[in-house]
Amino acid sequence: MNDYWGIPEKEYEISLLQFAKEQLSEKGYSVAGEKVEVCSGAGAMTLSGILENKEKRFGIYIHDGPKQRKTRGPPIIRVLLLLPEMKNVDDLRNFEITHPDFYDVLSPEEMGFRKRVEEDLKEIYAYLYNSKIKDLYDSDRSSAADILRIRLRKGVIESLI
């Protein structure tokens, strides 16, 4: 398994998946890269990542936030194909940003694989949401984004948060 989490290169690097290493490993996934963006204010979060398992390397997209949950429903969790030119998570995120229809373009054709991985990710994200995010989204705090960024910093000892 790839040990993606080490000492952060930048003080502000954040990671949500670092808190699910055990759950991901139990399901046979390793993280090749992750990019988490937290919007100011209420803390809407978008995660783009690249995971690997024994079958393949693939992308993931997760979007969640207080407004998402109140007006649109559950978080968006998608498995994505990686195009040959997508060498890292920044390439994937740039594609998502520049192609509003990215999910249609990158949606895996293998329904069984997609459904299985998305179910695994929903289970893992539910754990992450309940342990790291829920209290912030439930309270509608204007400082939720700042608190979430601190909670998700790479390499931060959990007992300090």
pLDDT tens for each residue of 146-157: 888 888 887 654
DSSP code, position 129: I
Positive or negative, the Cα torsion across 134, 138, 139, 144? positive
Q: Is the pLDDT of residue 160 over 80?
A: no
pLDDT tens digits, one per residue of 27-52? 999 999 999 998 887 788 899 999 99
Q: Helix %, strand %, coil % for the chain, to 5?
A: 45, 20, 35
Q: Any idea which residue has 């990215």 for tokens?
A: 102
